[in-house]
Amino acid sequence: MSFLKKTGILIVIVALTFSGFSSATQASAAGKAQDVTRGEYITAVVKALEVELNAGKTLEFTDVDEHLAPYVEAAQKIGLIKGTTSTTFKPHQKLTREHAFLIASRAIKSKEVFSIELLDKFKDKNEFKTNESAELARSVGLGLLQGFEDGTAKPQKLVTKLQVTKIIDRLVGAYSKEPPKKSVSLRILGTSDLHTNFVNYDYYQDKMSNEVGLAKTGVLIEQARAESPNNLLFDNGDLIQGTPLGGYKVTVDKLEKGELHPALAALESLEYDAGTLGNHEFNYGLEYLDTVLEEASFPILNANVYDAKTKNNRYTPYAIFDKEVLDGIGEPHTLKVGVIGVVAPGIVRWDRALLDGKVTVEDAVNTVEKFIPEMKGQGADIIVVLAHSGMGDETHTVGEDDVTYQISQLDGVDAILTGHNHAVFPGDFEDLENIDMEQGTVNGTPVIMPGKFGSHLGVIDLDLEKAGDQWTVAKGKGAVREIDKKSDIVNQKVIDAVKEAHEGTIEYVRSPVGKTTAHINSYFALVKDDPSIQIVTNAQKWFVEDKILGTEYEKLPILSSGAPFKAGGRNGANYYTEIPAGEVAIKNVADLYVFDNTVFALVMTGADVKEWLEMSAGQFNQIDPSSKEEQNLINEEFRTYNFDVIDGVTYEFDVTQPAKYDYDGKTINESANRVTNLQYDGKPIDSKQKFIVVTNNYRASGNFPGVRNATESIDYAYENRQAIMDYMIDVGTIDPSADSNWSFTPLNENSKITFETSGKAKDFIKEGSGIEYLAPTKEGFAKYSLKQK
């Protein structure tokens, strides 16, 4: 058999084929004269491919005449057609575009597999009716089905003669083209920021939840593996901390040397290939982390954390996998896949008390760039970066935490699994330059950021070709798949792997510690002084008052700092504290205080307290008092856990003024003065007076304005959450109310100030609060207005 390669010859064949059937369609209306029948199309395809013809005697179709029979017989022989029934072919039936592309795709016998997600590119994808979606996706992957300029495929439209000419032109090109001698596909799957969400269970609400859990993600993992057998599965860190299960293995059923941590058991149940460290892996100290990692059955990598004394990498920086893969015709090949991990350098600030003097952390971008030549020198065909670093922006500052954008620009990086932001990519970050949402690339590099708590699975598909001895990535695409929140289907292997720890955690969190006379929630914690924070600050002050008796700090006034840890934002409309009136259990305390922090006290001046609050004031956008338009109060770039309320003083926020600091604590308006009327004991605060401010290790170890000026730092090595439980046990019954120690400087009464919180919050609006529900927005959130009272 010879192959036609000249478009001119092809057009002549197609034209002759159609003219041979013109007598059968002369009665057709002029508008339909360009439509093509099944018989015409099959004849054109068989002629174009120069398939050998016989007499057509083997056909069982009763409606095919002797002229057409040889072509239909040849088409059936090479698998192009199936017939409408076992005895009918319906040669004069008009052909849809969908059916035309299916027939064309069957002519290509390559075993190359294409994802059915290729069909998602078409705006009218819901109009595909075939039960052969995989075959139709092949037609897209092979370049046969390309669609129209408006992004549609119009699958149920009748195919025209001009369109058939183009289809067969593409078909002959694909059919006659020698396939690459060696080409393979590789699928990279990834999770990030699981935060001990393994079972589909909300420990704070003590109930099943299909919105979280690796058991849910595991369903997607098995599906993605079945679609593409050449695959690797990685985790991107923030694995061992987050829910009460993480704390349970630290303080209650303590992890013993030689014991497999439930987080690793969960990952092993799904046969992960590698992982990296997130910033929260360091929350429990290096010794505990070492105990966890000792039992890992797969490499957990980090390249930018160094031993402070030896100056050597403290962890294995990278691994090179000899990955056995099959090409499109089933032949085996070995890919050398290099995988490297990096973490945000901020760990030395956030966990300074645990890490200071023990480790140093290098810039993540520079680290990856440094190791690329070494990995290539050891034979790595491709390099995958596991970056527990946020996306970042177009500007790189050495040592910053969010640098995935810069890593994507490095020569030699072929794919990136990122996280830390708890965001989703492709999807978020559309305002950055050189972002391709459809292809899931950043600066041309496939990138995936799969949400948080198991909400999404990241999928990168790479097509590789070999030239000589070198495999290279010909193309790559990143995508994310969301778990089915309406289904109860889970991956039972994950459930079984963590069963003991899960059940122990549930029993633990149900232990009672006190009572509350009223419902507690954090729905309005960003716009009003809130009881959910007041309880925390009261408990911390109660704890430290006892500790400083008889010490040099006994006579210093005590202030206490707290923040709304669960206040929606990037974590979704269900991520709020909600505790019903009645018995308070450990699960409720964990709902109030989600992090495994320890109590710290800082000695600082009134001036330092002022700067601390100026940093908190960055939570709000600047309001134009003369505007009559709606103005959004909340700065969404500012993390709510940085909105510290300091109890023991009173103050106002003047949001008509610009913020002094940005969300990283950098000065942006030196002369700004948002914090007004700051008073202690009913009088303007003395900028030189010394105070003790109770906080946590995260804040005390950071570079927060005001905090960084503290002259002394006292580490009580006692969990904030445990201090709250002790306080509740001592008090017995709490009456949750806030002392309204902060508010906004009154605005123009005509100002239209709005903010977003959960749609559920409308049921908890108190009369006279100045808050009014306006309308739902998206994904469970709603818009509210705020009037000063």
The predicted-structure confidence for 661-717, as pLDDT tens digits, reads as follows: 998 899 999 999 999 999 999 999 999 999 999 999 889 987 899 999 999 988 876
Contact by Cβ (8 Å): 743, 770: no
Q: For the residues 374-389, what does the mean pLDDT come to?
A: 96
pLDDT in the model for residue 789:
59
Could you list the beta-strand ranges (E) of 494-623: 512-516, 520-521, 558-562, 578-579, 582-585, 598-605
Query: Who wins on pLDDT, 564 or 17?
Result: 564
Confidence of residue 132 (pLDDT cuts 50, 70, 90): confident
Residue % of the chain over a pLDDT of 70: 94
> In this structure, what token pair is assigned to residue 308?
């402070």
Name the DSSP letter for residue 314.
Answer: S
- Asked if residues 99 and 73 have their Cβ atoms less than 8 Å apart, the reply is no
CA 707 to chain centre: 32
Q: Which of the four pLDDT bands, split at 50, 70 and 90, describes residue 109?
A: confident
> Residue 178: what pLDDT?
47
CA dihedral over 635, 639, 645, 646, signed as positive or negative: negative
- How confident is the model over 709-735, as a mean pLDDT? 88
Letter string b/e over residues 494-527, b meaning 16 or more CB atoms within 10 A of that residue's CB: bbebbeebbebbbebbeeebbebeeebbbbbbbb
Instruction: Please write the tens of the pLDDT for every residue from 754-773.
Output: 999 999 999 999 999 999 99
**In degrees, to the nearest 5, what angle opens at C-alpha 456 toward C-alphas 453 and 459?**
135
Q: What are the CA-CA distances from residue 297 to residues 241, 292, 323 (Å)?
A: 20, 11, 17
Whether the predicted pLDDT of 24 surpasses 70? no
What average pLDDT does this structure show over 186-215? 95
Q: Is the pLDDT of residue 26 over 50?
A: no
Identify the pLDDT of residue 22: 37
Write the pLDDT tens digit of every residue in 527-536.
Answer: 999 999 999 9
- Quick one: residue 506, left, alpha or beta (phi over 0 = left, psi -120 to 50 = alpha)? alpha
Predicted local distance difference test score (pLDDT) of residue 84: 60
Residue 465 pLDDT exceeds 80: yes
Helix (H) or strand (E) holding 322: strand 318-326
On whether the CB atoms of residues 781 and 573 are closer than 8 A, the answer is yes
Give the chain's mean pLDDT: 90
Average the pLDDT over 96-119 and give the result: 83
Omega before residue 426 within 30° of 0, cis? yes
Helix (H) or strand (E) holding 162: helix 161-176
Give 655 or 698, the one with higher predicted confidence.
655
**pTM given for the model:** 0.65
Residue 83 has pLDDT above 70, yes or no: no
When mean pLDDT is compared across 29-33, 547-551, 599-603, 643-647, the lowest value belongs to: 29-33
- Compute the half-sphere exposure of residue 213: CA atoms within 13 Å on the CB side of its CA: 26
